[in-house]
A and B are shown apart, each in its own frame.
Chain A
Amino acid sequence: MILNFKVNNTNHETNIDPSTPLADVLHDVLGYKSVKQSCSTGICGACTIRINGEARKSCLHMAGQAADSDISTVEGLSQNGSLSPIQEAFIDNFSFQCGFCTPGFIMSTAALLDENSSPSDEEIRDSLHGNICRCTGYLAILDGVKDAAKRMNKGGN
């Protein structure tokens, strides 16, 4: 079936089985390598992307379900070669080690901060509950998110 995927404002028309997990389409077919899969069962959150602005687990969506929606991945965050404030804050706060889970955490953070520019610690924890990191112990990630919120409120993009 020919389906159209709009990823980071770029349209991709591709012939694919509509029941293929969206994560496979994004990573294997369309080349968005930030979309990682670890558990493939909706637990780890490494495959988190945004669909129409909402954080979603792409391993638990069928390709057909996401066709023609507005999909965004980490690849779409930097602008004119500059990293986004969330990416900068994650780097400056050592909010990752191996980096495997990071794109998922960043997309969850982006969805949170678009909705709530000054989240409380509890709101951050709730929003990141669906993302698992096995390296950092989470505190550095919380710091990164709080720092990202500050940077964005100061008028970063």
Chain B
Amino acid sequence: MISETTYHRPDSLDQACNLLSENPEAVLLSGCQSLGLLSKEGIISLDTVIDLNGVPELSDISYKNGFLHIGALATHRDIETSKTVQKHLPLLSTAATQIADVQIRNAGTIGGACAYADPTADYPPVLMATNATIHSQSSTDSFEYTARDGFFIDYYQSAIGPEEIITSIKIPLPENAGYGFEKLAYRKNDRAIVNVAAILESKDGVCTRSDISVAGVWDTPLLANKTMEFLIGTELTEETISQASDMAREEILVCEDPLISIEYRSAMVGALTKKALTIAKEDLS
């Protein structure tokens, strides 16, 4: 170690934003589960750290006027076990249960996961499918990003600027939706090879809303736009779901990977989409 880390532990959001504005190179610390790895690998240096864990207002989870608000410091375990999330958006609590293990879920936060923008993570497809917004603050401004439109900009890259701190995630809640979340990984709760979040709404058996997002296969999570459009106005049957899954398999871009062939990954996009849609449809009734 060359020199000791300068470590700040602000006790308010304003103080944290001011510190970050004075030290734009500082590293923000929340759960330290990915950050710890990055620093051990020497990918980032910890000259200055701003530990956000002393900021009290950032871990609330609440439901208000049709929106679920989740503070950036809410841990995966908070989200997994929150009665509010389980009641209003079980899709998100299900995704949280798929993250790593209890110890890591006790520490890792949704704000940290958003900023990290890991393309194989479990929240991104949910945030895309639900059309969530991500909110941040700097010492002078506040910002709002849309998950589906511009938040996930590249491989491990979110739109959050160097002087911004993610404060919350806001998710508009469908009223009577069915949800499906499916994941394929080498081992249970490992990084996703493919994961799919699906939301369906229907009236008299005909699909009135369909949102499908696939992650783990490209640099950013993706929306299955054509498939979503196809399903609207379609009767939700085994056959139409099967057609939709084939469509998703066609339209979702899949990266090359030294260990997994494009063909296999694409096939899994189709298979998991089918499963997620089937579960979402069953969840409707």
Contact = CB atoms under 8 A, between A and B. Distances in A.
A19 B188 contact: no
B46 interface: yes
Contacts of B107: 54, 56-57, 60-61
**Most A-side CB within 10 Å, residue of B7, B39, B53, B188:** B7
Contact of A108 (B1, B37, B40, B103): B103
Interface residues of A, number: 28
12 contacts: A17-B4, A19-B39, A21-B36, A40-B40, A42-B33, A56-B107, A60-B107, A64-B51, A65-B29, A65-B51, A129-B101, A130-B101
Given A1-B4, A55-B106, A56-B107, A18 B49 contact: yes
B188 A129 contact: yes
B268 to A, nearest CB: 23
Contacts of A82: none
B189 interface: yes
A66 B40 CA distance: 18
The secondary-structure label for the interface of chain B is mixed
A42 B40 CA distance: 11
Interface of B: 1, 4-5, 7, 9, 29, 32-33, 36-37, 39-40, 46, 49, 51, 53, 77, 100-104, 106-107, 188-189
Contacts of B29: 62, 64-65
Nearest to A49: B103
Given A60-B32, A61-B32, A62-B29, A42 B5 contact: no
A118 interface: no
Nearest to B3: A17
Interface string A92-109: 000000000000000010
